Amino acid sequence: MMIAGDRVNFFSLENCLCFFRGEKKVICNKFILQSAVTCLVWPVLQANFVFGQADGKVKVAGSKGSKSQTVYAIDSYTVSLAIRYDGTSY
């Protein structure tokens, strides 16, 4: 789980989602994907983040590993994701 005050930055490049922490900009995790990332949410109280892709898949991935799991798939573009108001679920 992320520590409060940690600065986390995401970037997506050529079907690869990466994030890094701190000022050194060292990549912590890299996720190789089959489609472009269209949206991303990170519930405050969870160590996992959720992202949508252009191919209609919604995936969940952890901040400690480099694997993602599909939680929803449809043959349509993923436009947006939302988090519950208390940050406990998506």
CATH code of the region 8-73: 2.40.10
Q: How far apart are CA 53 and CA 56, in angstroms?
A: 6
Percent of the chain with pLDDT over 70: 82
Distances (CA, A) of 74 to 7, 53, 64: 33, 10, 27
* pLDDT per residue as tens digits for the range 43-84: 777 778 889 999 999 999 887 777 889 999 998 999 999 888
Length of the chain: 90
Longest Cα pair distance anywhere in the chain, in angstroms? 39
Name the DSSP letter for residue 3. Answer: P
